[in-house]
Chains A and B, each alone.
Chain A
Amino acid sequence: MSGYVLTDSWTMTRRELAHWARQPVQVVVGLVFPVMLLLMFGYLIGGGRGVEGAYVDFLIPGMLALTMAFGLEATMLAVTQDLNKGVIDRFRSMPMASSAVLVGRSFADMLQSALGLLVMIGVGHAIGWRWNGGFGALLGAVGLLLLLRFAMLWAGIHLAMVAGKPELVQAVQILVWPVGFLSNAFATPESMPGWLGAAVEWNPISATATTVRDLAGIPDVATGSWAAEHAALLAVAWPLVLVAVFFPLAVSRFRRLGR
């Protein structure tokens, strides 16, 4: 059965794509919401954050990382809704690879996020975001952002299975926002109280945002702390650790449904 993981996962991805085709408005809303946040923070709250150079250059990498992290909610909601549908029983009573339901979800969400990144980068460009790094650096940045999304995706799948009911997703959503904002997405840690700034630097979102800023060739905002100095290492290590923890947990939990 396990020989069918990829085929079956692709079938499940196609299922999600078919859902998109039937709900184009939902897809567009999903793409527009982060753009709206970006514009809001860029124009309404922008400026005066103690950042050298244009705020938009600082903000956009942070917003990209934040959007990837917030993907956790979308995944979690989609998985809980799916698990509460009757069709899951049919999948589970069929001789398909049991992980395909989850892996298919992860493919579809990654596709959606890649599309979302493209749109945000386009909008960022339109409002004057400068990319001073090379093309290779840009690819590297996109790769790191998607890696963060991938980690959040599996955390989301696992949390969805722990929560079980769509109603409980709200509780997680409430927690996701402060965690997202306790990062350097909008402001430098130096502008925060010392203890808070230190915590913020260890946030996976901060690590990815800082690394993307570095790749973009934005004047260095990192302070002397270990986490800030090694942001690139953390931007790779954090997601890998999260995936290493949540992927097996999620898959084994899915297999144990019904025990």
Chain B
Amino acid sequence: MTDAIVVEGVRKRYGDKSALDGLDLTVARGTVHGVLGPNGAGKTTAVRVMATLLRHDEGVVRVAGHDVRTQAGEVRRRIGLLGQHAAVDEELGGRQNLEMFGRLYHLGARRAGTRADELLERFDLADTGRKAVKLYSGGMRRRLDLAASLITEPEVLFLDEPTTGLDPRGRAEVWASVRSLVGAGTTVLLTTQYLEEADQLADRISVVDAGRVIAEGTADELKAKTGGDRIDVVLRDADRLALVASLLPGEATVDTDRRMVSAPVSDRMAALTETVRALEAAGVEAEDLSIRRPTLDEVFLHLTKEHAA
């Protein structure tokens, strides 16, 4: 089976600024691939290239088996796009939008209408009537946008920071929709700044910085890549944080708000007993003590810092 998305050595320059600097990406069919990176890492540029909106300078991009440069029409037939900004007509109503897009996908007038109704029902927008999209809440607008991306049940769906600017409820709604899509066999490429989002949704993750992939793997693999387990010590007394940080092995980080010291460990059990002893000897009272895998946040900071160095 061929891969749904193949990106090889893609470069895109704006003047003398490089937005994509040799980007490589392979996404297997029917999987969710997370593209994770800070602002300005080139995530949106990459999506725009893959969705035929932007022409790259160098490299090869194949989406759903077709070259985005020479077979843009074929690619467009097979993709859906949810960009960062709502790509719907804000002056019109939800149904008007979906029906218009359905016609433009050449479903025919009648099928466009029934498809619009199906999607409105599925995304819980059936009662919006003629209300203009500009009067929708952020979550509703995103759901309509997502509905518009799914009119033809695309093989590949691009989601560019799908939950940016949404409240927790809107975010949960979008996540639920994405999960149900994946069950139906759609390949999803998702860009995000939220590590939790990639952790929750993506099968594999590419960490992107300065226009290229600096790490790739499953969430667990990426976590393992950055120093393995960590020990967290939560104290009653915030004044003792610095003292505890000096007792722990390795480079400890201090979170004053949560009264927590965190440090990398190699041997889980040995680290636990040693820490308990050290705390006892120093006469420090711990409220909580735990050993855990690093969060993607830590992995991300580690990777981007390493890359910058």
Give the B-binding residues of A (Cβ under 8 A). 1, 4, 7-8, 11, 14-15, 18-19, 22-23, 85-96, 100, 258-259
Contact = CB atoms under 8 A, between A and B. Distances in A.
Contact of A15 (B76, B90, B100, B132): B100
B104 A93 contact: no
B54 interface: yes
Contact of A86 (B52, B87, B92): B87
A80 B73 CA distance: 25
A211 B101 CA distance: 43
Given A14-B100, A95-B105, A90 B88 contact: yes
Q: Is the interface of B mostly helix, strand, loop or mixed?
A: loop
B87 A18 contact: no
B148 interface: yes
A258 B104 CA distance: 21
Contacts of A89: 53, 81, 83, 85, 87
Interface in B46-83: 48, 51-55, 73, 76-77, 79, 81, 83
Contacts of A18: 91-92, 96
Nearest to A96: B104
A91 B89 CA distance: 10
Contacts of B106: 4, 7, 95-96
Interface of B: 48, 51-55, 73, 76-77, 79, 81, 83, 85-92, 96, 100-101, 103-106, 132, 148
A30 to B, nearest CB: 16
A58 to B, nearest CB: 41
Contact of A85 (B77, B79, B90, B96): B90
Contacts of A23: 91
Given A7-B106, A18-B96, A93 B53 contact: yes
Contacts of A93: 51-53, 76, 79, 81, 87
Given A22-B92, A85-B90, A90 B73 contact: no
Contact of A11 (B85, B90, B100, B148): B100
Contacts of B73: 1, 95
